[in-house]
Amino acid sequence: MHFADPMKNILQMGLTDGMKVGDLGTGTGHYALAASGIVGPAGQVYAIDIQEDVLTHIRDAARGRKFKNIETVWGDFEKQGGTKLRDHVLDAAVLSNVLFQLEDKEGAIAELRRILKPEGKLLVVDWSGSWDGMGPAQELVVSERDAEALFIRAGFHKVKSFTGGPHHYSILFTSP
């Protein structure tokens, strides 16, 4: 497998029953689906993406697995209020394979700070390089060191780093 393992990575977050989790830039929804099973029927998962077609796919996948705790949100989280979520509503958030795509990284981080509870958990998983056409172009790759610095400058606290897959790094933060 060439890609990150969503369940293995999400287990590093210590999610528990009843938590509210956001998967920002959810794409295929693998992290949203993994979180859904962990937080259970008392929990809530928000799968947020700017592409409406991927949200339809996630709704279908959730229905197929009988997951009733996933809500899809069409929104641009690079903008203040773009997730359409209340302030400090999330216990945890996932940003997977998204950092390299963001035009306004500071805007996205500000929105994350707004929606995460103080001490909320944030898992950042991204490409550690460009692999012969797999993953982003080299000039778009955000190194683990640069990602760490970006979030620390915004007040997040690093908990740990771990390998997110053969081509990915993962960093777990808590929000200020």
CATH of 6-174, one of 3.30.360.10, 3.40.50.150, 3.20.20.370, 3.20.20.450: 3.40.50.150
pTM across the whole model = 0.95
Distance from C-alpha of 53 to C-alpha of 68, rounded to nearest angstrom: 19
Distance from C-alpha of 105 to C-alpha of 119, rounded to nearest angstrom: 21
Ranges of each domain in the chain: 6-174
Nearest to 49 by CA among 32, 35, 68, 37: 32
At residue 131 the predicted structure's pLDDT band, cuts being 50, 70 and 90, is confident
pLDDT, tens digit, 9 for 90 and up, residues 83-102: 999 999 999 999 999 999 99
151 Cβ contact partners less than 8 Å away, ≥ 6 residues apart = 109, 122, 124, 158, 171, 173
Q: In sequence order, which ranges of 47-96 are alpha helices (DSSP H)?
A: 52-64
pLDDT, tens digit, 9 for 90 and up, residues 144-153: 999 999 999 9
Strand boundaries in 51-156, DSSP class E: 70-74, 90-96, 116-127
